[in-house]
Structure 1
Amino acid sequence: MTVPPEELELAAAFPPAERDRWREMVKGVLRRSGAATEDTPLDEIEGLLARESYDGVPIAALYTRDDAPPGRPGLAPYVREVRPDGEGIAGWDVRQRHAHPDPAVTRAAVLADLENGATSIWLRLGDTGMPVAGLAEALRDVLLDLAPVVLDAGERAGEAAEAFLALAAERGNAPDVSGNLGADPLGLAARTGAPGSLDEAAALAVRCVRDFPGLRAVVADGTPYHDAGGSDAEELGAAVAAGVAYLRALTAAGLSVAEAFGQIEFRLAVSADQFSSIAKLRAARRLWARVAEVSGASEGTAARVHAVTSSAMMTRRDPWVNMLRTTIAAFAAGAGGADAVTVQPFDARLGLPDDFARRIARNTQTLLLEESSLARVVDPAGGSWYAESLTEGLAQAAWTWFTEIEKAGGLAAALDSGLVAGRLAATWERRRRDIARRKAPLTGVSEYPNLAEALPEREPAPSAADDGEPRGGLPVVTYARDFEALRDRSDAHAEATGARPRVFLATLGPVAVHTARASFAANLFQAGGIETVAGAPEEFGTSGTPVACICSSDKVYGEQAADAARLLRDAGAVKVWLAGKGTYEGADAGVYAGCDAIEVLETTLHDLGVSE
């Protein structure tokens, strides 16, 4: 048998690629776009294409072998997965989430999931899910020694844990039961402002080590920080800070360092930003390995990571696009080496998911595992110099944030002082501006909206705020909320008046000249629920709207824009937009790529008499 070389020279037949030659070719492209000139030095070309993430991690235009740090799968710091090369890959844990308040409905849904691809169950209990008293009914058909169960009960974590442990003991499954009791007092404080008990979490961990060896007790949940608009590094840093606080509490309760590490599972959000999500999971293992190193822990303390598709990225409008978002996120979770993955149903923002939505969420993972064979490759991102560099940069940024939290007295103190909230709020405002300017596009919402869509109806999900009492903790944001609020105003206006708000697109010149900008303007206005009608400026008087937008090329604007604006004003226009950046007599302002679309749409709805 021929043994292949350790390194395949796949590019041996091609001429050598030189960085300066690449820069010269890129410079030629940038010169044509006006971003560079003949005098621009070659060593500045890459900088013209570079950018930074919300964490300040540089995103370069080109990565090479020099950007790939050494490392192998299965070895600390576990960046390249916990599983070593050559190990048989069974795949990750397909973890389906349930939050229906009716235990009988949950019981049927749980059974359907476990019979059709799910390998573990995540139960939301308490005020935002099923009553704790219904736990036994919901799990009546579940073999606890085969299907791991993860609890998420918030303020009722202790009560839910006791109920589950009693059920396991009653069935005689104590030695074989697996899953996680979901104790996360710091995550509770982050979400609700309610003080959680580290002592209670530690006591549960001690019981698990003593009586339920296959069960974990504690979750270090990073999703509250993601859901508040935080960056990847901010989520990671806070999650690691929570993990360190739990390590201290568990060892103080009598567990060894190794036992304490074995009781903690991380929960992190993955989004449609594929590479950032992959890097986040890889960086999480890197960070936790560093904590293990300074704690004097032995081998086998790699972070166990439960990846959940982002709630913040999900939309109410055009919710079917959420299937695509969650597919990308699930792929990133698998490629990033997640131990367990939860795909949220596409209708999660509309209420309780129906059977179809849960089936699609489940089958998304089945496709990745069984048809794409994603889990059969150890560390798929390991060959990407970009992924390696992004992982390291993200880990460094997260560690810096973690140390800042520690200097503030730990995560509990940082939450109480407002340090965490202030940092997340600043990041959210930056992201919010990018969304408003459509630099971070949301398909079906800020781009390519469907004003004729009929949203599916869903049963409302239980909410902790149903009693009318204010809740503390970090805010919960969704990326689409500003655009969706404008769509809601448009819907209310249409229901009250029988017609949607409308803007007239005054097109100048031949179709080939004005189509590009007319299409751009129509797409922008529709993102705010404003329909458009196009025609020559002379047709404005019969359009039934007081707002117009002139659309054509810069050349035509120079010849006709001022006259067109005057014609529109004479016909009763109270606002005249112009599709483009130029300033022309009679036009109030321009709409263009990078403009503040939210501001444009709010102004337009106001001019159209649409109430807030």
Structure 2
Amino acid sequence: MTDKDQKLFSDFAPVTTEEWEAKINADLKGKDYGRALVWKTYEGFNVRPYYRRENLESLNYLDTLPGEFPFVRGNKKTGNDWLIRQNIFVSDFETANKKALEILGKGVTSIGFYFSNCENISKESLGVLLKDICLEAAEINLVCPDDSGNCAEIFAQYVSEGKWANENIVASASLDPIGTFILKGKLPKDAISKLKPVVERTKVVPQFRIIGVHGKFFANSGSSIVQELAFSLAQGAEYLTQLTELGLNIDEVAKTIKFNFGIGNNYFMEIAKLRAARLLWAQIVKAYKPECNCSAKMIVHSETSRYNKTLYDPHVNMLRTQTEAMSAALGGAHSITVLPFNAIYEEPTNLSERVARNQQILLKEESYLDKVSDPSAGSYYIETLTNSLVEQVWKLFLTVQEKGGFIAAFRQGFIQKEIKEMAAKRDL
């Protein structure tokens, strides 16, 4: 017998689930099993104290590989690298450019430019903002307070007239009229239809995701993970439906959408959240019959949550954001923003921004979380959480669809009521 064929534990009989349960009940000494060891989550399902191989037997996606439909195991075939994003608020284009160049030399690979207004954005001012930045080496994310699409079109024009290979440029514009509707309560009739010409004019940059779905709005309002995912997917489906009805094909539309999720402190559940989100979005896009499965890839930007941060001991926020960033990385986020520890009460300082950047660098350079594709694959616990989230999210998603879709459900007050009730439960 070779060493390879030798069974090291043949002297030990396998332990059945019944035997485990008997041992646990004996150790509990009469205490109620459900109250002592079963976690009743806010997500609508209970979590057991342990899981075994038999709990995964009904899951039909376990044999898929990373980079394959339905992308539960991630969009990449190899590795788990993500982009380190830092946001810059643009009041002066030259100053913002100087800061961008500085942080790009300190480990940042994705920049979010936040504009106070879009009226002064032109091809010339964008040239000042992006001067000396290699657009093929850093992701550019443009965030404007309005959803006109002018900024996105100017960026696409600027890129097309430049020296870069358009297919290598990764960017986003965060146009989200439904998100504006959530925050302001108004949605002009033509708000979504105005996105159609923007999609058509910006497709010269193939990896330019101009539409943003902002699930972080729900997370920062106190929603559960199930609510954040279900309502975000319903928003995404609204964009797919309305834009395809206007004549765009599903492959064009799906490849222009980027999801922005908040990441909370529920460590393993947040890992499972991103895996479940990719699987469900892939199934939704598939229902529209795209030509290529690649159109069903969900691109996710994760941002550490504001909901659970403290004003009174702000340095503790670093511990919270670190575990949140780990969840996002292990869950397979495309890019991650770690908010500085003082971001909820003052303008971040050089110190707090540097710490936020370095938190992600440590996860890559010292913990090697970027090296292994879908590192949580095969975990009985995380795989079960993923499946449980899929089931609960899908139920709530269908409820929203039965009410006429996200916009109709929001106008009826259903979305607000659900989140308000959940936030009250979480604050007890």
TM-score by length of 2: 0.89
Partner of 1:67: 55
Cα offset, 1:63, TM superposition: 0.8
Report sequence identity in percent: 31
User: Is the 2:160–2:166 contact (alpha carbons within 8 Å) kept by the matching residues of 1?
Assistant: no
User: Is the 1:335–1:379 contact (alpha carbons within 8 Å) kept by the matching residues of 2?
Assistant: yes
Q: Measured at CA, do residues 202 and 66 of structure 1 come closer, stay the same or move farther in structure 2, by a change above 3 Å?
A: farther
User: Is the 2:156–2:202 contact (alpha carbons within 8 Å) kept by the matching residues of 1?
Assistant: no
Superposed CA deviations along residues 548-588 of structure 1, whole A, max 9, x for unmatched, are xxxxxxxxxxxxxxxxxxxxxxxxxxxxxxxxxxxxxxxxx
User: Is the 2:43–2:392 contact (alpha carbons within 8 Å) kept by the matching residues of 1?
Assistant: yes
Provide the secondary structure at the position in 2 that maps to 1:182: strand
**Which shows bigger deviation, 234-243 or 356-365?**
356-365
Q: After superposition, where does 1:487-526 map in structure 2 within 5 Å?
A: none
Within the candidate set 402, 410, 417, 2:397 is matched to: 402
Matched to 1:323, the amino acid is M
Cα offset, 1:238, TM superposition: 1.0
Partner of 2:235: 242
Cα offset, 1:175, TM superposition: 2.5
Provide the secondary structure at the position in 1 that maps to 2:43: coil
- How many angstroms apart in 2 are the aligned matches of 1:181 and 1:320? 32
Cα offset, 1:141, TM superposition: 3.4
Residues 1:155 and 2:146 are matched in the alignment: yes
Matched to 2:287, the amino acid is V
Partner of 1:200: 194
Provide the secondary structure at the position in 2 that maps to 1:375: coil
- How many angstroms apart in 1 are the aligned matches of 2:20 and 2:392? 30
Residues 1:263 and 2:259 are matched in the alignment: no
- How many angstroms apart in 2 are the aligned matches of 1:273 and 1:212? 37
Q: Measured at CA, do residues 328 and 13 of structure 1 come closer, stay the same or move farther in structure 2, by a change above 3 Å?
A: farther
Residues 1:393 and 2:388 are matched in the alignment: yes
What RMSD, in angstroms, separates the aligned Cα atoms of the two structures? Answer: 2.6
Residues 1:121 and 2:107 are matched in the alignment: no
Cα offset, 1:325, TM superposition: 0.9
Cα offset, 1:226, TM superposition: 1.1
Matched to 1:146, the amino acid is A
Partner of 1:19: 17
Partner of 2:285: 292
Q: Measured at CA, do residues 131 and 14 of structure 1 come closer, stay the same or move farther in structure 2, by a change above 3 Å?
A: farther
Residues 1:178 and 2:170 are matched in the alignment: yes
TM-score by length of 1: 0.63
Within the candidate set 92, 98, 102, 2:88 is matched to: 98
**Unaligned stretches of 5+ in structure 2?**
none
Residues 1:274 and 2:302 are matched in the alignment: no
Residues 1:358 and 2:358 are matched in the alignment: no
Q: Measured at CA, do residues 347 and 4 of structure 1 come closer, stay the same or move farther in structure 2, by a change above 3 Å?
A: farther
- How many angstroms apart in 1 are the aligned matches of 2:228 and 2:7? 40
Q: Measured at CA, do residues 387 and 172 of structure 1 come closer, stay the same or move farther in structure 2, by a change above 3 Å?
A: same
- How many angstroms apart in 1 are the aligned matches of 2:127 and 2:8? 58
User: Is the 2:214–2:260 contact (alpha carbons within 8 Å) kept by the matching residues of 1?
Assistant: yes
**Unaligned stretches of 5+ in structure 1?**
37-44, 434-612
Partner of 1:55: 43
Q: After superposition, where does 1:481-492 map in structure 2 within 5 Å?
A: none
- How many angstroms apart in 2 are the aligned matches of 1:246 and 1:9? 55
User: Is the 1:174–1:212 contact (alpha carbons within 8 Å) kept by the matching residues of 2?
Assistant: no
Provide the secondary structure at the position in 2 that maps to 1:76: coil
Aligned length: 415
Provide the secondary structure at the position in 2 that maps to 1:376: coil
User: Is the 2:274–2:332 contact (alpha carbons within 8 Å) kept by the matching residues of 1?
Assistant: yes
Higher relative contact order (CA 8 A, sep 6+): 2
- The structure with the largest alpha-carbon Rg is 1
- How many angstroms apart in 1 are the aligned matches of 2:159 and 2:301? 23
